[in-house]
Structure 1
Amino acid sequence: MKIALPSRQNLIDSHFGHCEYFTVFIVDQDRREIISEEIVESPAGCGCKSNIASVLAAMDVKLMLAGNMGDGAVNVLNNSGIEVLRGCAGDVRDVTLSWLAGSLLDSGDSCQEHEHGCHHN
């Protein structure tokens, strides 16, 4: 399974649409371990209005572990077959291992403070 995390300096970027890059981990859910890692450059502009959802979906990413994210971005990712878990923070590898251990839950928090209109469709 592939998991993507909006990243900045190996940490979850709290603002999905402006992350430096995406860390994509291939994980073995049965063994609860990370098998490999790759970096995907973040497209210019707002995350939900960019092509990142289709790029990640084409890579077979099934889950996004993120910090804050507006409903528009969640919908775009969900429509591309990518589940979203919000409210994550910290080192991307640690967050992924916490998810594999079953200790992460979605915060349900949507970022409503976008001045650039990402949450509008």
Structure 2
Amino acid sequence: MKIAIACDGKNVSAHFGHCEGYAVYNATDSVIEYSETLQSPGHEPGRLPVFLAEHGINLIIAGGMGARAVQLFNDNNIEVIIGVSGPVDLAAQDYVAGKLKSTGSICTQHEHDCSGH
């Protein structure tokens, strides 16, 4: 399984679409290894789910994202976990340990500032 974590530096980004890049991990059973960092191609509606699918990503972890983005990821067979914060390495480890669950908190544009995730 390939996991992409939206990141700003070494921390999970508050919003996947505005992150610096994606820390990519390979997970086999309960073993996880850092693979690479993908630079974000920029926020363009509908592009990021396809971009990550083209890189073989099976799961995206982020602080937040909108309902349309969640649907687009699901349409590209990419599972979504949102509501995550803290170091990307810890998020990856928590996921394989079964400790990381999505809060399901969907960003709704113009209703609140997603930077608070």
Q: Normalising TM by the smaller chain, what interval?
A: 0.7 to 0.9
Q: Does 1:19 align with 2:57?
A: no
Q: Does 1:103 align with 2:108?
A: no
Q: 1:3 — aligned with what?
A: 3
Question: What corresponds to 2:57 in structure 1?
Answer: 61
* Aligned equivalent of 1:118: none
State the alpha-carbon separation in 2 of the partners of residues 113 and 54 from structure 1.
21
How many residues align structurally? 111
Q: Which amino acid aligns with 2:100?
A: L
Residues 2, 60 of structure 1: 8 Å contact kept: yes
Q: Structure 1 CA distance, aligned partners of 2:43 and 2:110?
A: 13
Deviation at 1:114, TM superposition (A): 4.3
SS at match of 1:61: coil
What does 1:26-37 align with in structure 2 at a 5 Å threshold?
A: 26-28=26-28, 30=29, 32-37=30-35
Moved over 4 A (4+): none
SS at match of 1:93: helix
Q: Using a 3 Å threshold, how does the CA distance of structure 1 residues 70 and 24 change in structure 2: closer, same or farther?
A: same
TM-score where L is the length of structure 2: 0.87
Q: In 1, Cα distance between the equivalents of 2:110 and 2:99?
A: 29
TM-superposed CA distance for 1:7, in Å, is 0.5
RMSD between superposed Cα atoms in Å: 1.5
User: Structure 1: 5+ residue runs without aligned partners?
Assistant: 116-121
Are the aligned partners of 1:43 and 1:50 in contact in 2 as well (CA < 8 Å)?
no
Tell me, in whole angstroms, the C-alpha distance in 1 between the residues paired with 2:21 and 2:9.
9
- Unpaired segments of 5 or more residues in structure 2? 112-117
Per the alignment, in what secondary structure is the counterpart of residue 3 of structure 1?
strand
